Structure 1
Amino acid sequence: MPFTRLASATTPTAHLGLGLAAVGRPAYLTLGRAAEFPDERTVEALRERTHQLLDAAWAQGVRYVDAARSYGRSEEFLAEWLAAHPEADDVVVGSKWGYTYTGEWRLDAEVHEVKDHCVDAFDRQLAESRELLGDRLDLYQIHSLTPDSPALTDTALHARLAALAAEGVTLGFSTSGPRQADTVRAALELRADGEPLFHTVQSTYNLLEPSAGPALAEAHEAGLTVIVKEALANGRLAGEHAPQQLRDVAAAAGATPDAVALAAVLRAPWAGVVLSGAATVAELHANLLAAATDVDEPQRALLEGLVEEPEAYWRHRSGLPWS
């Protein structure tokens, strides 16, 4: 893993990270939320849940934690946990800017987040992230780049990003949508003083939507650390929501569907870190078993039959309810 702070993590589960999207705010785009949060989702309840997950992840050797300005109070919860755990100085902290949380801690908010990749948004959100995370901010990523994002062409923004990198913060970007591969390749072309502007890329990649794979392999070859998000497809590859083929393979492997789905991504030679988006400690422990899960070639062939067309996959994702 070229990203130096991540490369130094040597625990058995170092290639699995914890994403805080599901626990930093009361509503999220994931199936099964009612079962994960049967009680009232107050700020205090989600703070406690986040700290429990961080405790469990740390104990199991997870060393990368992923937050974002739009993940409600995820940075705040993470900062509190870090302050209370000085022994966790090897935890690598990534966050993202480019979306503003607008849900006002409501499940029924009309709009939960608003996208803005302009320079002013970067300046404002960097200040907010630094106020909470201080010098623990290792990686700062543009949130959900798409081919039409102004962040790909805004030279004033590129200068701001380069200045941040000069201060020692690693720069990255995340992608979304059916044209992730195009976005990755466009971002790889960006330079600052002749050097690549970005050193990490975070993309959606899973058994249903693997279309970004070739571009992520190119990013890896170019020296970027690849971080995989939504490896469980917003809950579609876990528990009762998993397709029958995945359940069959999991049963044959003596594992759970989520562990098999994560293991399939971990096997990609370019995958630096694969994120668990667990919302409960039990889910996290199940996800972490992916590090010791494997399937044989015939079973892998069955999993290849789950692939959907990118447009269909992203259309389905956009129709998932915030809950």
Structure 2
Amino acid sequence: MPFARLATATTPTCHIGLGLAAVGRPGYINLGRDNDLGEDRSAETLRARSHELLDAAYAQGVRYFDAARSYGRAEEFLAGWLTARPDVDDVVIGSKWGYTYTADWRSDAETHEVKDHSVQTYERQRAETAELLGDRLDLYQIHSVTPDSPALTDKELHAKLAEAAERGTTIGFSTSGPAQAEAIRAALSVTVDGEPLFRTVQSTYNALETSAAPALAEAHDAGLTVIVKEGMANGRLAGPHAPEPVRAIAEQSGMGADAVALAFVLRWPWAGVVLSGAATTLQLASNLHAAVVDLDDDQLARLAALVEEPAAYWGRRGQLPWH
């Protein structure tokens, strides 16, 4: 398991990773993106920004980096950084397949990504990822599994994934939508030759959306590494968009609302890695302060009171504009 490398890390930030969804393509749904990126979103500008973020994250103790085929050119940017930094040999690299990027480097595209969990898509995207990341890829995840995903029942796909696992790639899955817990439990039952197929799970969990917590605890108890995404709810728990309790706790702690939001996730023993989706180095530095935020019982209760019904949360997320 590549995540065993993180187990020996001693930095406060060893449980925080950097996701590249926000900087691998010109359009995304995070709030505040116009201020974060400005008008120049050329491939070269975002490549430079990605490398700057990766340098800053590594220097501050981050050792897990997360990309996906649908994150525009994120894999390409990450691969270029790894090539330019041959001394970096202690990081864990994860990516995902199952969505195809279709926006053609436009923020105003009608469709930004198309989902397909077929064997054919896996084989095509696995080859594309291999061309960029080669043997630096540690973890390959099915992107956004839902309870009705064919990836949960396709035996041919399972066999292909098991072959990749035999060659040394850890196989995982991510989840999205109001039925995350159901998808997680279904994935835990997937086996090949009597052995569990998946070794990691990446799910959305934050103060507004906590419904996956019991299933994530079960996955952790079953030996999977849990990666948490969207800990700031695509910006709804950060900066000026944060609810009043989050801003108040941030003021009490002397940290940013983003650090408070991520600290709420880090407190769970099942949370192996919590992703920062920072688009600037200042955001990254603020996110990493989560490692030293100590929330008391009263503060935790105030944050827990923010929870929304899963259908309402995902409905609102689905309405966030790409910009």
Give the TM-score normalised by the residue count of structure 1.
Answer: 0.98
One-letter amino acid of the structure 2 residue matched with residue 318 of structure 1: G
Distance 1:120 1:127, change over 3 A: same
Aligned to 1:22: 22
TM-aligned CA deviation for residue 2 of structure 1: 8.3
One-letter amino acid of the structure 2 residue matched with residue 69 of structure 1: R
One-letter amino acid of the structure 2 residue matched with residue 31 of structure 1: L
Q: Retained in 2: the 8 A contact 1:21–1:277?
A: yes
One-letter amino acid of the structure 1 residue matched with residue 164 of structure 2: L
TM-aligned CA deviation for residue 255 of structure 1: 1.3
RMSD: 1.0
Alignment of 1:1-323 (within 5 A): 3-323=3-323
Aligned length: 323
Residues in 1 aligned to 2:134 and 2:310: alpha-carbon distance in whole angstroms: 38
Q: Retained in 1: the 8 A contact 2:2–2:170?
A: no
One-letter amino acid of the structure 2 residue matched with residue 223 of structure 1: G
One-letter amino acid of the structure 1 residue matched with residue 40 of structure 2: E
Residues in 2 aligned to 1:12 and 1:299: alpha-carbon distance in whole angstroms: 21
TM-aligned CA deviation for residue 193 of structure 1: 1.9
Show structure 1 runs of 5+ residues with no match: none
Return 300-309 or 93-102, whichever deviates more. Answer: 300-309
Q: Retained in 2: the 8 A contact 1:94–1:140?
A: yes
Residues in 2 aligned to 1:6 and 1:161: alpha-carbon distance in whole angstroms: 24
Say which SS state the counterpart of residue 271 (structure 1) adopts: coil
Say which SS state the counterpart of residue 18 (structure 1) adopts: strand
TM-aligned CA deviation for residue 12 of structure 1: 2.1
Residues in 2 aligned to 1:93 and 1:10: alpha-carbon distance in whole angstroms: 19
Residues in 1 aligned to 2:257 and 2:12: alpha-carbon distance in whole angstroms: 21
Q: Retained in 1: the 8 A contact 2:276–2:284?
A: yes
TM-aligned CA deviation for residue 294 of structure 1: 1.2
Residues in 1 aligned to 2:258 and 2:135: alpha-carbon distance in whole angstroms: 34
Q: Retained in 2: the 8 A contact 1:3–1:200?
A: no
Return 185-194 or 216-225, whichever deviates more. Answer: 185-194
Q: Retained in 1: the 8 A contact 2:206–2:233?
A: yes
Residues in 2 aligned to 1:69 and 1:30: alpha-carbon distance in whole angstroms: 19
Say which SS state the counterpart of residue 110 (structure 2) adopts: coil
Residues in 1 aligned to 2:113 and 2:10: alpha-carbon distance in whole angstroms: 35
TM-aligned CA deviation for residue 296 of structure 1: 1.3
Residues in 1 aligned to 2:6 and 2:120: alpha-carbon distance in whole angstroms: 30
Show structure 2 runs of 5+ residues with no match: none
TM-aligned CA deviation for residue 252 of structure 1: 1.2
TM-aligned CA deviation for residue 207 of structure 1: 0.2
- Identity level (%): 69
Return 199-208 or 298-307, whichever deviates more. Answer: 298-307
Give the TM-score normalised by the residue count of structure 2.
Answer: 0.98
One-letter amino acid of the structure 2 residue matched with residue 104 of structure 1: D
